[in-house]
Amino acid sequence: MAYRRELAVVLLIVLLLTGVWLLVSRIESANDGAQTQFVQDAVRNAALTCYAVEGAYPEDLEYLRAHYGLAYDESRYYVNYDAFASNLVPEITVIEVGASR
C-alpha cells in the first residue's frame, strides 16, 4: 500500500514539473516574439523621427545609430532596412538570429 502512495506522489510531482516546464516554454516563446517586435518598432520609430526632423528617411541603419541613438543587440537580431527612396517609408524586417521559427 505504501508503495502505491509513493508511486502516486512521484507521478504527481512529474506531472507538475512537466506542466511548469510547458508553461515556461510558452511564456519564453511569447516573450521572444515581443522582443523582436520591439526591435522592429524601435527601428521604425527612429526612421520616422528622422523623417520628421530632416524631411527624408535615412539610407541605412548606421545613420540611425549615429544620429538618433538606435541600439539593439546585433548578435541576437538581424535587421534588414531597405530604403527605396528618401520620401518612402523603408521596409524593415527583423529576424532573431538562431530562431527556429
Domain definitions of the chain by residue range? 2-96
Q: Report pLDDT for 57.
A: 94
More confident residue, 81 or 7: 81
Q: Which residues pair with 93 in a beta bridge?
A: 80
At 48-94, the pLDDT tens digits run: 999 999 999 999 999 999 999 999 999 999 999 999 898 999 999 99
DSSP state of 92: E
Does the predicted model carry a pTM greater than 0.75?
A: no
